Amino acid sequence: MTKIPKCFYIILVVTFLIVISTSCTSQAKPYVVIYDDTNQTNQKVTLRFVSSWGGVDAKADTLQQILDSFMKENPNIKVINESLYGEDFLPKIKTDFVSGNDPDVFGIWPGSDIEALIKANKVADLTEVLKEDKLWKDSFKKDMWSYTTYNNRIYGLPLEIIYEGLFVNRGLFELYNAKIPTTYDELKQAIKIFKENDVIPIAYNSTAEGSYLYQNMAAILGGADEIQKPIKDGKISKSYLTAMNYMKELYNIGAFPQDCFTISSQDRDALFLNKKAAMIVQGSWFMGRISEEDNQNGMVDIVPFPYISGGKAEKKSMIYGLGNGVFYMSQMASSDPAKREASIKLLKALTSKKSAALFAEQTGMYSNVDLTGYNIHYGKLVKSGEELLGDSKNLIGPPDSFIDRNIWDNIITNFPYVLREKYSPEDVWGQAVSEWTYSNSN
């Protein structure tokens, strides 16, 4: 078998693994009171904060507003926000930890990356901190602690619940008399109609964010059990291979932009937001980028990903879990008494009820913090998403949170070769899994 090209930053990934292994032996908005602590230290402390809520991310402005408010309330604490948008975030945070430039407080989704950092003793244990502040701990919904608990110890604070689905531009469907799809066959029929009318059917690109389409297919085909245990006996589960074949079929019938292998995630999203594409598979965090007009008049909607015949998940199933809004304190910050105190204050500010309400009000974020008593004015789209969750038959965790990130990056890098049929799904997955197994055995 011809050796498959690797991701351009493979050196970074290898270095990250070596370090981890070694370690194991627009306009200003008004201020709002987010967190008040009268016992402020007199010592000047600077904290570095990193998350994926930067750049054009829908939560970037609200995050900065909260950080500005926090610094105004705590004049002895300066927070440097180094958050980055999209695919730029993960390489940065890996580089920071590899180089010993550990952030003090950071946000990252559940998965292999945070687990590796925890195993390497790079992340502070927050169990006792939460025990000491029962009111704070009880403000989070209990069901989601399992996502941030490792060996019965809590490391992360689960602020943001996410779900994924098929976003549709209803105006385009109405204009061309296309049915919003509930099955895979109906999806193909809608693609045909939009192709005939020179409308891009699905805004897709071959990046980690673009893979949400593939992930939803795999989830429908495999169901929760197969997604949560994707590798058995050194082989990837069949649903991941079959989903790739469905992706090839969509590619061959012209479902994607002609330049889907080269466009950025921002350009991909813009195709849908500017109504040049009829559909996009995205997550609940995407709602914050929908215009107020489209949100209120229902011209953009979210529906369950179309059911695929023979899939193990029931109809109306959805990917569901925690997003990037899970916050941690580094062990390096925890080892410094002044930074530890300041970091805990920042964590409390980021996950306070007032912050959660602000994120919900301004971005439509689905909060894991109890907002009882807060009158949040959700848009029509957010309400539609919450109704979908209530009607969902199966809630399935995001596939990329159960697969080692190095494997996942390898797969995404080689997706163009699969869609062009230069490599088979078995080739790509087989090599990725074998390389991961080899690296773990050495």
Would you say residue 386 lies in a domain? no
Question: 314 and 169 share a domain?
Answer: yes
376-388 as b/e, with b when 16 or more CB fall inside 10 Å? eebbbbbebbeeb
Question: 81 and 193 share a domain?
Answer: no
Would you say residue 261 lies in a domain? yes
Question: 131 and 76 share a domain?
Answer: yes
Question: 289 and 339 share a domain?
Answer: no
Whole-angstrom Cα distance, residue 435 to residue 343?
Answer: 38
DSSP-assigned letter for residue 256: S
Residue 88, CA distances (Å) to 91, 93, 120, 208, 396 in order: 6, 9, 23, 11, 27
Give the pLDDT band (50/70/90) at residue 33: very low
User: For the segment 281-295, what is each residue's pLDDT rounded down to a tens digit?
Assistant: 999 999 989 988 888
Whole-angstrom Cα distance, residue 343 to residue 47?
Answer: 7
Residue numbers of the domain that contains 361: 11-161+322-378
Would you say residue 3 lies in a domain? no
> Which of 333, 348, 378 is the C-terminal boundary of a domain?
378
Whole-angstrom Cα distance, residue 105 to residue 198?
Answer: 47
Question: 116 and 193 share a domain?
Answer: no
181-219 as b/e, with b when 16 or more CB fall inside 10 Å? bbebeebbebbebbeeeebbbbbbbbbbbbbbbbbbbbb
User: For the segment 133-187, what is each residue's pLDDT rounded down to a tens digit?
Assistant: 999 999 999 999 999 999 999 999 999 999 999 999 999 999 999 999 999 999 9
Q: What confidence score (pLDDT) does residue 298 get?
A: 81
Total domains in the chain come to 2
Would you say residue 271 lies in a domain? yes
Question: 216 and 360 share a domain?
Answer: no
Give the pLDDT band (50/70/90) at residue 37: very low
Per-residue pLDDT at 54 exceeds 60: yes
Four-point Cα dihedral 210, 53, 160, 266, nearest 10: -20
The CATH number assigned to the domain holding 433 equals 3.40.190.10
Question: 108 and 230 share a domain?
Answer: no
Question: 361 and 371 share a domain?
Answer: yes
Greater confidence (56 vs 271) lies with 271
| Count of other CB atoms within 10 angstroms of residue 39 | 6
Per-residue pLDDT at 220 exceeds 50: yes
